[in-house]
Amino acid sequence: MSKNLVLVTGGNGFIGSALSEKLAVNPAFHVRVAARTPCESASMTTDFVRVGDIGEDCDWSAALQGVDCVVHTAARVHVMNDTAADPLAAFRQVNLLGTMQLARQAADAGVRRFIFISSIKVNGEQTKPGSAFHADDQPNPSDPYGVSKAEAEQALLVFAQSSNMTVVIIRPVLVYGPGVKANFHNMIKWVNSGVPLPFGAVDNRRSFISIDNLIDLIVTCIHHPGASNQIFLASDGQDVSTTKLLELIADALDRPSRLVPIPSIVLYWGASLVGLRSVAQRVLGSLQVDVGKNLKVLGWRPVYSVEEGVKRTVRPYRQSSRS
């Protein structure tokens, strides 16, 4: 049986490296990694292709030879305190123009499917208590990163209408797993330090997705006929409060959570005083997604629960801190 050749862009990234490693040990696939610099996941494959900066002039021809499916994880990602003179133009150059350059060349090369890893920021930044984003909601991005991703999605879906190449769009919520950085990593450090944290009374609801669940969804979309030209939201299928998440992290670390029940309105007020209102929104606000479409169209359910995902995430951190 011949293997499907899958091109993974952004092989150095959190999602791209995890996906490459998973595909490399799957007998149904052969993986080719494309990135600006060699990466660890590339050592597990027979193929690594160096590409330049992603944009409207990038040449993907060497990377696309013989490819059946492209999984495009590479992107200009959302950053705090962006220093670009025109942030939206900078995001569009990579996330819109660069994506369409790859898509057009992929279609010309005979690629049958193009999977675009987008972002829940296309839907928006927050949900009202008890409500959730759906895959077919009207996009409502509020920052340049989200706008660029939304524009790329629309351009890809229009392109697919006149192409033999099908498109799949996946919008993950915050992705966590071993080696995670940024806010999730900070929460692990906070809990591990043993200092009291003022998040014992946060009654929000947020969706997350473990890297293992996201990779399983992506692999399903590589071959599933029902995924053609569809948009899917990606989460663990469970919504937890910030308080509950910190308790799960503490349990995985085998440490007390030391959560002090400070009312959320007080925390919002304090964060606003020091210019951290956007950070407070991510910690205290709600963002829920409905992934019912994934089960209905793909028959896909998350492999791991939030509890299992947190334990798998914390385990290497716990081992390194003890050593």
Rounded-to-integer distance, Cα 81 and Cα 279, Å: 12
Residue predicted with more confidence, 159 or 41: 159
Candidate from 35-39, 42-46, 65-69, 214-218 with smallest mean pLDDT: 42-46
Number of neighbours of residue 321 by Cβ within 10 angstroms: 12
Question: Which residue among the candidates 145, 176, 304, 317 is catalytic per the annotation?
Answer: 145
Rounded-to-integer distance, Cα 213 and Cα 225, Å: 20
Task: Name the residue with tokens 């220093």.
Answer: 83
For the stretch 112-169, pLDDT in tens is: 999 999 999 999 999 987 899 999 999 999 999 999 999 999 999 999 999 999 999 9
For the question of whether the overall pTM of this predicted structure is more than 0.85, the answer is yes
DSSP, residue by residue, 47-64 = EEEE----STT---HHHH
Candidate from 40-44, 139-143, 260-264, 281-285 with smallest mean pLDDT: 40-44
**Domains in the chain, please, with CATH?**
4-172 (3.40.50.720), 182-203+241-284 (no CATH)
For the stretch 290-303, pLDDT in tens is: 999 999 999 999 99
What is the H or E stretch that residue 116 is in?
Answer: strand 113-117
Q: Is 176 a catalytic residue?
A: no
Quote the pLDDT of residue 42. 47
Closest by CA to 179, choosing from 4, 6, 12, is 12
